[in-house]
Structure 1
């Protein structure tokens, strides 16, 4: 052996030593991991998944189907067996010939398997193909069940897909080629970094594993998020009222107040200047107010929908009128805040209060006869569990809400981020939208149950009437001029359900806009991006499907179209208003104090 040979081997020895050191570090971190994992909250089974009744019904229905129509099920089983055996034989045949290459791959494209080794390495390609064959077989088995009702079938389809997604080979280190290759390339450093990321997430959430989606150190509210200049001009125990500083010499006489959902924080409407709906509205010459809701704790146990309407909406509307010296305002409600705005308008109709000149609804459900994708979590098994949890704690913890919405897009919001953070050891991105998504809020116990039972489950507002402040209000009582914006791929507020609710309202002046994209991206879609288009159709007497089929497609954001509609409802131009007045002194600069509460 020459000196050159020894020198060539030295780096290898160093690499092995580095790998051993990293693996030793992994052992140390594992002990720390086991310690913190024991600190997590105990979550009731009713909040972990559907009741066993669903699976019992599914199994019974499958057995019934097998007895009544065995030929169909046997055909599908044989098809699955045939594909699996053929796949195995083809892979073995190539190996027998000494060819280290995968067999023909006719499985559908799936972005989870984007790494090249899924296509080029025979071992990983075999695993991928067989997983996708198995997944298709599970989906087919669910579709073969014809004796479940449509809602049960929808739930079975959803939860079986969750199981299939959970056991994807990408989610496990031994069957994730990208993670294994990176671990080898970095001598195990990626695994150490991944464990450190996991432990940091567990410690930050008291033992609950919540994947950090965005770099929390990259953003500070008021500095690089929620930066539109303004001030808190009113505060009570429910909300802070923020008035934004004008950027034009003249403004429309009728002010605009925006009610964001209290399920999340308001700054989704004011992320960065270039995608801030609030800043854009100010720049169009509107006097803009926004409600920043309190993040409730257990002390808000008895806070109800009536409290949100009386001490939230009606109070905010009154304060805006006083500050601006006007008799009428224009109002916007987003998601659940739009639902509650509709309840408020119906109550105001009963009270002969005409102080809202027009209303705009963003991704709002008022008719819950079809609850869309989120409906899988709105049956009694889950809602009973939520009711028990809030009775004990006094509030619906943001942990449960965040987890529910994340599971509606589990590959994008749970498994994908977990793979990058925990297996690849990558730091979370500096992404403003994901930062906001992780900044959740709690819901008061009483209000949460009223919303889930009375609106989501019983659909009272669109049927027999919903009780608010001693009155029974109905959807037909909403009679102000209105504009509604729904989103085509919205997984929280299905656009067809939103459309149905709008058609049932009593207003004679109605405009409906369908934006491309989803619950957030379809709304936060500034004109400068020139990204998502939108549909319009003045005929609201059509079914949702016929409305879309005959609608006009427009390129670009719906914001300018809404501006044209809203400006006609906003009166003449007057001298721009600075935040507050003598009776409403500046209490704090925007974005206020409530938004900072964790």
Structure 2
């Protein structure tokens, strides 16, 4: 029975309401999905006497294991890659033992959770995740009595740090209930020192605004650049401060740049579909560009979900004989979701059905409901370390430009997000040729324009090996693949001159054999600096001769024109 048929059942509304209420108390995790994972794991463990005996022997050898862990810590200076324990106080007793027990428990649970015979792999990974949350909660770093750095600071300040922390906690709770921004925000504001590259909104519909940026060079390349960001984020991740704006960098190199700025949807937008994002977003923008720069092909650029959307649009265009694209750049964007990383922990049929009811009830998936899952994936970094800094150290760290943008998230319409999660994320329909646009399937192999793929080494959202899978289905004239240092956002916002940046880059041309990702990594040398430089050269080589800049497009669509960053970027 399909989901559409289920919604017509007499008591479906009661199920939807019940699941929506449950979600508020379970951080949107389905209690059934969680119970299935726990039950699968517990029953298989109960039916594995050999595994139980192994656990008993492991418990009996705890003193020896603790000594081995201590020796390991002495070998790496006690620090390893977990910088919470960098303070020299962790080398002294009893704190050294606290740290050793914690690390030993993390390693033991990681092996136990996925090592029970017969457990479904997804359930084993989910159990490992649940155990990590408990262990992160119990980390000795989080508590005054077991953290030598906190004890020393409290003694030095005579408890003033705890008084400040209590004040910060009360203020944060008050702001949360009043729907206010964090107290650390304010240094950066959209339109003042964020998203300040000059331009005009030349088109608007009910889903997006299209910005055309003003040229900063006497001449510009003939073929324009159209950037489509993800609708889960505000577009200005690519136009942060003047020092690290990708838009400004491209404009200063002589490119004519257009940007899609998505509307932040509300309850009334619940029925907006994934195809609406393509039609009212990508295709509407291309139609407007054809008016502003006629007879010129377009360099398409998509970031994250915007890249997935642009790839679908490019496949549909190729299917229909639409030749307006000159090239396609996909940044941290997946087209094959079989190895979609840690987010797969939260996606299975049971969990997705539960989430669909939550979205159906309110009409969208809220920012906080999405942020919780991302924070739990890096709980020690995004939750506990920040809590210790604010409430026990009494520190407030002002938000930088990237952190300010990260706190300015958007909602996602119910129908669109349900289709994205079910057809793309769970069923992998696009990669396998089943995803339909206007009633007919689209396939990646129909895309023949040159491709520039960018992925990041520490990406929790779109792992680089998953992005690399584009090679398996593509039939493009050439695919240039970049693997850059950093995470999903920091690796993309990697401007020239940024210290410590590096990347790998290689091109696979039509007819050349496929290179597996591990071999690609070993055989491709590291280059220091920003990948933007090589990308700009790649764009430049296919952008035609320079000439006079095109006139700003005449505004069309809904409402009236305005200067960048437009109006939709302010939507809450």
Q: TM-score, normalised by structure 2?
A: 0.88
Which residue does the alignment assign to 1:64?
Answer: 47
Residue number among 24, 32, 35 corresponding to 1:42 in the alignment? 24
Q: CA deviation at 1:499?
A: 1.0
Question: What is the SS of the residue equivalent to 1:204?
Answer: helix
Q: Does 1:542 align with 2:544?
A: no
Q: CA deviation at 1:87?
A: 10
Q: Do the aligned partners of 1:107 and 1:132 also contact (CA within 8 Å) in 2?
A: no
| CA–CA distance in structure 1, aligned partners of residues 68 and 521 of structure 2 | 44
Q: Does 1:292 align with 2:261?
A: yes
Q: Does 1:116 align with 2:88?
A: yes
Q: Do the aligned partners of 2:264 and 2:410 also contact (CA within 8 Å) in 1?
A: yes
- Structure 1 stretch displaced more, 437-446 or 326-335: 326-335
Q: Do the aligned partners of 1:73 and 1:144 also contact (CA within 8 Å) in 2?
A: no
Which residue does the alignment assign to 1:371?
Answer: 340
Q: Does 1:166 align with 2:130?
A: no
Q: Do the aligned partners of 1:526 and 1:559 also contact (CA within 8 Å) in 2?
A: yes
- Structure 1 stretch displaced more, 358-367 or 187-196: 187-196
* CA shift digits 1:47-100 (9 cap, x unpaired): 2775111112222233333x1355543432222254459999xxxxxxxxxxxx
Question: What is the SS of the residue equivalent to 2:282?
Answer: helix
| CA–CA distance in structure 2, aligned partners of residues 380 and 428 of structure 1 | 40
Residue number among 270, 281, 289 corresponding to 1:320 in the alignment? 289
Counterparts of 1:210-249 in structure 2 under 5 Å? 212=182, 215-249=184-218
Question: What is the SS of the residue equivalent to 2:283?
Answer: helix
| CA–CA distance in structure 2, aligned partners of residues 191 and 132 of structure 1 | 27
Q: CA deviation at 1:217?
A: 1.3
242 and 431 in structure 1: CA distance in 2 versus 1, 3 angstrom threshold: same
Residue number among 193, 208, 215 corresponding to 2:164 in the alignment? 193
Which residue does the alignment assign to 2:476?
Answer: 507
178 and 472 in structure 1: CA distance in 2 versus 1, 3 angstrom threshold: same
5+ residue gaps in structure 1? 1-39, 89-102
Which residue does the alignment assign to 1:152?
Answer: 123
119 and 508 in structure 1: CA distance in 2 versus 1, 3 angstrom threshold: same
Q: CA deviation at 1:440?
A: 0.8
| CA–CA distance in structure 1, aligned partners of residues 174 and 414 of structure 2 | 27
Q: Do the aligned partners of 1:230 and 1:242 also contact (CA within 8 Å) in 2?
A: yes
471 and 240 in structure 1: CA distance in 2 versus 1, 3 angstrom threshold: same
Q: Does 1:588 align with 2:557?
A: no
Counterparts of 1:306-455 in structure 2 under 5 Å? 306-455=275-424
Which residue does the alignment assign to 1:12?
Answer: none
- Structure 1 stretch displaced more, 579-588 or 129-138: 579-588
Q: Do the aligned partners of 1:245 and 1:577 also contact (CA within 8 Å) in 2?
A: no
Which residue does the alignment assign to 1:52?
Answer: 35
| CA–CA distance in structure 2, aligned partners of residues 290 and 199 of structure 1 | 40
| CA–CA distance in structure 1, aligned partners of residues 386 and 447 of structure 2 | 42
Q: When the two structures are aligned, how many residues end up with a matched partner?
A: 543
| CA–CA distance in structure 1, aligned partners of residues 448 and 531 of structure 2 | 23
Q: Does 1:460 align with 2:432?
A: no
After superposition, the CA RMSD in angstroms is 2.9
Residue number among 226, 237, 250 corresponding to 1:268 in the alignment? 237
77 and 207 in structure 1: CA distance in 2 versus 1, 3 angstrom threshold: farther
- Structure 1 stretch displaced more, 124-133 or 224-233: 124-133
308 and 448 in structure 1: CA distance in 2 versus 1, 3 angstrom threshold: same
Q: CA deviation at 1:229?
A: 1.3
Which residue does the alignment assign to 1:31?
Answer: none
Residue number among 251, 265, 270 corresponding to 2:220 in the alignment? 251
| CA–CA distance in structure 1, aligned partners of residues 79 and 351 of structure 2 | 34
| CA–CA distance in structure 1, aligned partners of residues 24 and 374 of structure 2 | 20
Residue number among 523, 530, 533 corresponding to 1:560 in the alignment? 533
Q: CA deviation at 1:577?
A: 3.2
* CA shift digits 1:311-367 (9 cap, x unpaired): 111001111221223342111000111001111111112222111111100011001
| CA–CA distance in structure 1, aligned partners of residues 242 and 51 of structure 2 | 61
Q: Do the aligned partners of 1:533 and 1:557 also contact (CA within 8 Å) in 2?
A: yes
71 and 187 in structure 1: CA distance in 2 versus 1, 3 angstrom threshold: closer
211 and 316 in structure 1: CA distance in 2 versus 1, 3 angstrom threshold: closer
Q: Does 1:133 align with 2:107?
A: no
* CA shift digits 1:247-305 (9 cap, x unpaired): 10000111101001111111111111111111100011000111110011111100000
| CA–CA distance in structure 2, aligned partners of residues 188 and 528 of structure 1 | 42
Q: CA deviation at 1:586?
A: 7.6
Q: Do the aligned partners of 1:420 and 1:426 also contact (CA within 8 Å) in 2?
A: yes
Which residue does the alignment assign to 2:448?
Answer: 479
Q: CA deviation at 1:158?
A: 2.7
Counterparts of 1:77-88 in structure 2 under 5 Å? 77-83=59-65
Which residue does the alignment assign to 1:76?
Answer: 58
Q: CA deviation at 1:400?
A: 1.2
| CA–CA distance in structure 2, aligned partners of residues 445 and 519 of structure 1 | 24
355 and 86 in structure 1: CA distance in 2 versus 1, 3 angstrom threshold: closer
Question: What is the SS of the residue equivalent to 1:491?
Answer: coil
| CA–CA distance in structure 2, aligned partners of residues 181 and 108 of structure 1 | 19
Q: Do the aligned partners of 2:366 and 2:410 also contact (CA within 8 Å) in 1?
A: yes
- Structure 1 stretch displaced more, 502-511 or 446-455: 502-511
583 and 151 in structure 1: CA distance in 2 versus 1, 3 angstrom threshold: closer
Q: Do the aligned partners of 1:346 and 1:474 also contact (CA within 8 Å) in 2?
A: yes
76 and 554 in structure 1: CA distance in 2 versus 1, 3 angstrom threshold: same
| CA–CA distance in structure 2, aligned partners of residues 315 and 362 of structure 1 | 21
Q: Do the aligned partners of 2:464 and 2:483 also contact (CA within 8 Å) in 1?
A: yes
